[in-house]
Amino acid sequence: MTVRSERDQYVVTLTIDREKKLNALDYPTIDALLAELDRIDADDTVRAVILTGAGQRAFSAGADVPSLAASIAGGPERALREFVRRGHTLTRRIEEFPKPVIVAVNGLAYGGGCEITEAAPLAIAAEHATFAKPEISLGFPPPFGGSQRLPRHVGRKRGLELILTGDPIPAARAAELGLVNSVVPVGELLEEARNLAERIIRHAPTAVAACLRAVTRGINLPIDEGLAVEAAAFAATVPTDGVRDGIRRFLDRRQAR
């Protein structure tokens, strides 16, 4: 197994388990991550996901180069089919997942590891973590969505600097750029990710899903289209227990005061 799954009440932690390979993303690992996300999506009792890597050296060093090399040797169509589309499917799945995905970056997040971080709605990094876009040194642009998501996160000029140089940046700089939410000591990483998950899942799952959907779908739209996405997300929650219970609790507290 290249992906370990552990459950603690309402939260599932997925661990990329290829420590000797710096948790590189070969095709079976990507497929296993997709399968686990499908399983979690179908389980209404799971409320949040933490995604991390085995050990403390790497979250993921990116694509498994031998796998990539074999695909590239087969020509553009094979490389697109086996490598790029698989990577796009994974990062899009994480980006659009209806439950919060919190990436806990426990070391290197290079290439595909950085692109997973960009796609996730939330991320926390250990103090020793580093991020990089080294694809240019292999002769191609970021292939798992990094050329599109990173500039949207950090701005065009900062994004291009990272993409065109391939230079690594430390966790503190990643936090300044908005690539991660916070930086913590490595011994506190999973605990902090769990605390963040708990602060989210105390709210109604329908509300959490609606917020994720509204932000993800609307963030790159013109404001009027984004407001329409927001209105649709709100309307979908109106008939839910989450709204009824939330309003009732508010009115009860007000009456008690």
Catalytic annotation, residues: 115, 135
Nearest Cα residue to 241 out of 78, 64, 44, 49: 44
Structure tokens at 82: 């086996």
Q: Residue 23 — left, alpha, or beta (φ > 0 → left; ψ -120 to 50 → alpha)?
A: left
Neighbours of 164 (CB within 10 A): 11
Angle between helices 146-154 and 156-165 (to 10 degrees): 130
Structure tokens at 20: 């000797």
* Structural contact between residues 112 and 144, judged by C-beta atoms closer than 8 angstroms: yes
Residues 6+ away with beta carbon under 8 Å from 147: 141, 163
What is the distance between the alpha carbons of residues 97 and 67, in angstroms, rounded to a whole number? 27
Query: Residue 109: beta bridge partners?
Result: 60, 131
* Structural contact between residues 105 and 180, judged by C-beta atoms closer than 8 angstroms: yes
- Cα 134 to its chain centre, rounded Å, is 19
- Give buried/exposed letters for 207-240 (b at 16+ CB in 10 A, else e): bbbbbbbbebbbeeeeeeebeebbeebeeebeee
- Cα 105 to its chain centre, rounded Å, is 10
